[in-house]
Structure 1
């Protein structure tokens, strides 16, 4: 573990890591995907991630293995696998295989499922959030049991496993880093108890991303979420890594005008728009300063951005990654 320094807002300070969500590349063919993965690696991003939705995105498992095969140090992960789309026994086998074949570069992102359109278009039943989160909690127990030595027997309300040994075993022991993100207290509390990396996001209980999420993206909302995590984590608090999903990243010398537009679009004051941890806007120097300040305040050290920010944020990544 890297040297750490205690800070007030979040857990101990970690070096900066940058993840890039590459779910919807312009081209889907072997050469362009391999070139993209190598570009991500060469620019200093830590992890290439793929989302798990049923519309225009590439399928995560095949895409992640291809990205790992094209690179040498780049980590791979789903941001995040939807628990309702796969039985946890099946996902555990896929995850362990990805970890083994990538040489221990896999991170297991897992969520309860939230995008209404996925469920509606695929004809999947969308249970209430509490049911989905309870199912996710059981799934985590099953997956960790499949990663462990010996056969697993599990009897829950949603899953039953009878003496099944998980094979292969992951390279990273006891398991690959588990990533769980969310914006509500129940899901973040589960993440605090079970995950290694916790993603701070806006509350997606409504099943869509729109302007109604603005008030849940403020610094006050972020501080409240971190409080929930800290309370639920207990003695695990100092072991956790906090990450945040950036929904808007713009490198510009005209920061004020862009922030005003962001504030108007998301129902925030200008001050709230400047401070939200879910957006980056300004010159490279300003963005670097913002990220350092947010790490000091909140403990956020892992930054997740979208593919369209790959090259624009590369100077920021070059300045901060690993520091």
Structure 2
């Protein structure tokens, strides 16, 4: 597993020096990426990445994921290019169609159907590619044409994603539309594990089982075809619990928080990692064989708890 990568997302508000210390700790542990989230009840997805990049030497920075419906493509391009420069080419841009309806309502944004949101996401990808290729510039005028007043083009450092014009692109999602989009455009496909519960209001989620995820990964692979060999597959782990009583912990978790799950489903889903560090490391090895996961992300509260697992996998 020499090419496996590990990331953690961060969304809390804290002074810059505390965030810098957290990111340096993560880099020392062996993490490869720190990721910002894009929710109304969390910090900006981009601003903390500048602090993280400045505080570390090799840690890459990214978004998991930017909600496309919150952004105008030109403004998104501007922030993306800014962070790509501030990080000296360490940015990975994650994009998604958005899924929390209450956020749209709170922001005064229209809640569109998933098909329309995916279509708009594809349009944004095309616009970003154009901006990353040509820059964003004023039309020439009698004054602007003067050479001394010309500003440099707003272009990214990296030329890996977006058809060779920008930073690596991650697309997150589980529905057919999002997966088709990822298969066509993404360098990284992200699986977060949350499925909308049927018959419940939008934004009411449950955790996917291993069987459901296997079907989704198979669908994505079918859509990607030969491109799959060029793509990285990311999984966002929702819980990490280092414990010597794996089954007992799972039984309590199901009883208190996952009434729609069986204990076996809790022990086998890739979105829950329960057990000793060695048991979890073995589960991740098996998940890589079964699903192709080579990029593992955990939530910030589990960043330190997951450290011994990284050590075992790196060893």
TM-score range, shorter chain: 0.7 to 0.9
Partner of 2:71: 86
Q: CA deviation at 1:166?
A: 9.8
Partner of 1:19: 7
Partner of 2:167: 176
Partner of 1:158: none
Q: CA deviation at 1:204?
A: 4.5
The change in CA–CA distance for 1:89 and 1:207 in structure 2 (over 3 A counts) is same
Partner of 1:131: 116
**Conserved 8 A contact 1:78-1:107:** yes
Partner of 1:162: none
TM-score (norm: length of structure 2): 0.87
Partner of 2:300: 307
Partner of 1:227: 218
Q: CA deviation at 1:226?
A: 1.2
**Conserved 8 A contact 1:41-1:74:** yes
Instruction: State the Cα deviation string for residues 245-292 of structure 1 (Å, max 9, x = none).
Output: 111111111111111233343212222211101110000010000000
Q: 2:97 aligns with which of 112, 118, 125?
A: 112
SS of 2:189's equivalent in the other structure is strand
The change in CA–CA distance for 1:24 and 1:133 in structure 2 (over 3 A counts) is same
Structure 1: stretches of 5+ with no match in the other structure: 1-12, 153-164
Aligned pair 1:287/2:280, yes or no? yes
The change in CA–CA distance for 1:234 and 1:14 in structure 2 (over 3 A counts) is farther
Aligned pair 1:44/2:30, yes or no? yes
Q: 1:32 aligns with which of 1, 14, 18?
A: 18
Distance (whole Å) between structure 1 residues aligned to residue 152 and residue 186 of structure 2: 20
Q: CA deviation at 1:320?
A: 2.0
Partner of 1:100: 85
**Conserved 8 A contact 1:146-1:166:** no
Partner of 1:208: 203
Which one has the largest radius of gyration?
A: 2
Partner of 2:313: 320
Q: 2:39 aligns with which of 42, 47, 53?
A: 53
**C-alpha RMSD over aligned residues:** 2.1
Partner of 1:261: 252
How many equivalent residue pairs? 291
Instruction: State the Cα deviation string for residues 13-46 of structure 1 (Å, max 9, x = none).
Output: 8721111011125xx1121111112111111111
**Conserved 8 A contact 1:148-1:166:** no
Q: CA deviation at 1:208?
A: 2.8
Partner of 2:144: none
The change in CA–CA distance for 1:269 and 1:97 in structure 2 (over 3 A counts) is same
Q: CA deviation at 1:201?
A: 2.6
SS of 1:148's equivalent in the other structure is helix
Q: CA deviation at 1:207?
A: 4.1
The change in CA–CA distance for 1:94 and 1:166 in structure 2 (over 3 A counts) is farther
Matches within 5 A, 1:118-197: 118-149=103-134, 167-173=153-159, 174=164, 175-197=166-188
**Conserved 8 A contact 1:280-1:287:** yes
Q: CA deviation at 1:150?
A: 7.1
Distance (whole Å) between structure 2 residues aligned to residue 91 and residue 209 of structure 1: 28
**Conserved 8 A contact 1:259-1:281:** yes
Distance (whole Å) between structure 1 residues aligned to residue 18 and residue 37 of structure 2: 19
Between the two structures, name the one with larger relative contact order (CA 8 Å, sep ≥ 6).
Answer: 1
**Conserved 8 A contact 2:136-2:154:** no
Distance (whole Å) between structure 1 residues aligned to residue 81 and residue 153 of structure 2: 7
Q: CA deviation at 1:196?
A: 0.6
